Amino acid sequence: MRNPNSVILVVAWVFLGGLSLVTAACGSEDDACGPGNDLVPALVAEGELDTFRVASIGVDEFKVSGTEAEHNTLVQANFSDFTDYMVTLAPRLDFLPNYPACYVITGQPTVSGAPVNLGIESVTFSGLIEPVVLSQVESGQIPPDLLPQRGFAGTEVGVDVASAGGADDFPAFSETLPAPLMPAPGRVGDTDWGDLMAVQDPSIGITVDRAYPLVVEWEPADGDVIEVKIIPNAGSSTDYMKLRCITFDDGCLEIPAGAIGHLALDDATNFKLRIERHNYVVHPIRDGDTVEAAAIIGLSASMETIVTR
């Protein structure tokens, strides 16, 4: 029988950008970056996702630096039954055992079947710069809302789901979680993040024969997860290649040279360099010992700039 906990991987890939929330590891404030130290947080407790009825709710603030700068916040929600939906995750290149936080996506996921929309009446978000209420339309979809500015107004975001409570509806619930701070990046390799934004066509050494790791630093701020991505951009020969590192918000990450070298095989002439701070909560809805449904709520604040090889 298929394990319902695998639904978290489905939701993470199709809605939250691929973050595997079930990887277990330990970390401490004394950890330094480098082999054996850049570990992956565990964000899901045993049994919290023992269901195929899963909600995905997100508030994602995104800031791009440079001449075509943008700053907006996407608010979205999805409520689905994944019973008849199967996914094989995209192949990836790992760098174990020394670098468990980083990997390169080398292909595309495959899926079969389709999720079924579950009913809700509304999703109300509090703690944002303006009130946001998402509602389901006749097709069963929930149109997202895009705020053309910073989205988080304070230190917390509240989510309130109203539901009629029928057999084909997702149960009503409320949850509150901390709003993430926009990352304050420090150095990327030998260059300050500020210099990367100020210099035209800044290079961070994305070469096939790179012989040393790339160190990324930022100001810690108690986020649940820090994610660093390097994504081929202009002239890319694939639409799936991506380097991703997921680790603790401790201020330092070391990206292995092999990951940079593999990324350099793409034909891209420049790359998106992104640092993201995430806060997550899983809200299980139980009937006694049975998990009837579960909601994954994610808040993120991300900063991106363009770099060359």
pLDDT digits (tens, 9 = 90+) for 30-56: 557 999 899 999 878 788 889 999 999
Largest CA distance in the chain: 59
* C-alpha to C-alpha distance for 24 and 27, rounded to whole angstroms: 10
Instruction: Note the pLDDT of residue 276.
Output: 97
Residue 162 scores a pLDDT above 50: yes
Confidence class for position 230, pLDDT limits 50, 70, 90: very high
Residue 24 scores a pLDDT above 50: no
> pTM value?
0.92
Confidence class for position 28, pLDDT limits 50, 70, 90: very low
Where is pLDDT greater, at 187 or 28? 187
Instruction: Note the pLDDT of residue 66.
Output: 64
* C-alpha to C-alpha distance for 137 and 39, rounded to whole angstroms: 41
Where is pLDDT greater, at 8 or 155? 155
Residue 69 scores a pLDDT above 90: no
Mean pLDDT, the chain, rounded, equals 89
Residue 236 scores a pLDDT above 60: yes
Mean pLDDT for 154-171 is 96
Lowest mean pLDDT among 16-30, 245-259, 277-291: 16-30
Mean pLDDT for 49-64 is 94
Where is pLDDT greater, at 28 or 113? 113
Residue 187 scores a pLDDT above 70: yes
Residue 303 scores a pLDDT above 70: yes
Instruction: Note the pLDDT of residue 197.
Output: 82
Where is pLDDT greater, at 168 or 18? 168
Name beta bridge partners: 152. 128
Mean pLDDT for 271-280 is 96
Mean pLDDT for 195-204 is 86
pLDDT by residue (tens digit) across 92-142?
A: 999 999 999 999 999 998 989 999 999 999 999 999 999 899 999 998 999
